[in-house]
C-alpha cells in the first residue's frame, strides 16, 4: 500500500532502524519513542486491523515481542526494569498508523509513562453483568466459528 508509512518502510522507501526481519514480520525502533529502545513489530503484508491478520502472523508478532522483551530486560543498551506491550486496533483505540503494529516499550520506575483510565474504571460491574457479557461473547465465537482463525470450541470457565 503506497500511502502506508509502514509499508513504505518495509519496502525500503523510507528509512528505519531495523532490529529484526524475517519472512512474516519485521521490527524497528519507533521514531517517536516513549522510552529509548521503544520498538514496533509489524507484519510485512499490510493489514489495517488485527482481525485482518492471519493467526500465523499474529503468533509470529508475539513470538518476536517475547524475544525482544528478553533482550531488553537482560541487558540491552537501554534502561529497562519492565516492558509494556501495546497494540491499538482502530482510531478510537489510539491507532495512528493504519497498519497493525505491536509496541514493545521498555519501562523504568522513573519514566513518567502510564495509562489513563476513564472515570468509570473504579466501578466494578456485578457478576450478573459480567456473566451476561461473557455469554454474548461466547455466543458470537460459536457463530463465527472458523472465521476466527482458530477453533471455536471451548468450554465456559467455571
List the catalytic residues. Answer: 101
User: Which SS3 state, helix, strand or coil, does residue 121 take?
Assistant: helix
| Cβ burial 109-123 (10 Å sphere, 16+ → b, else e) | eebeeeeeeeeeeee
Three-state DSSP at 81 gives coil
Runs of H (alpha helix) within the chain:
5-10, 55-73, 127-144
If one counts every other C-beta atom within 10 angstroms of the C-beta of residue 32, the result is 6
3-state secondary structure of 79: coil
Three-class DSSP category at 69: helix
How far is residue 151 from each of residues 32, 37, 52, 136, measured CA to CA in Å? 38, 36, 17, 17
Amino acid at each position: 500500500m503506497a500511502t502506508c508509512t509502514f509499508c513504505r518502510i518495509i519496502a525500503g522507501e523510507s528509512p528505519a532502524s531495523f532490529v529484526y526481519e524475517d519472512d512474516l514480520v519485521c521490527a524497528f525502533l519507533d521514531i517517536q519513542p516513549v522510552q529509548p529502545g521503544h520498538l514496533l513489530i509489524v507484519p510485512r503484508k499490510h493489514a489495517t486491523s488485527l482481525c485482518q491478520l492471519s493467526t500465523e502472523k499474529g503468533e509470529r508478532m508475539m513470538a518476536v515481542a517475547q524475544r525482544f522483551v528478553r533482550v531488553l530486560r537482560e541487558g540491552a543498551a537501554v534502561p529497562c526494569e519492565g516492558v509494556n506491550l501495546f497494540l491499538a486496533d482502530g482510531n478510537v483505540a489510539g491507532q495512528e498508523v493504519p497498519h497493525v503494529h505491536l509496541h514493545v516499550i521498555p519501562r523504568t520506575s522513573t519514566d513518567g509513562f502510564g495509562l489513563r483510565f476513564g472515570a468509570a474504571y473504579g466501578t466494578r460491574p456485578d457478576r450478573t453483568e459480567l456473566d451476561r457479557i461473557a455469554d454474548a461473547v461466547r455466543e458470537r465465537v460459536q457463530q463465527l466459528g472458523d472465521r476466527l482463525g482458530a477453533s471455536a470450541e471451548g468450554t465456559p470457565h467455571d
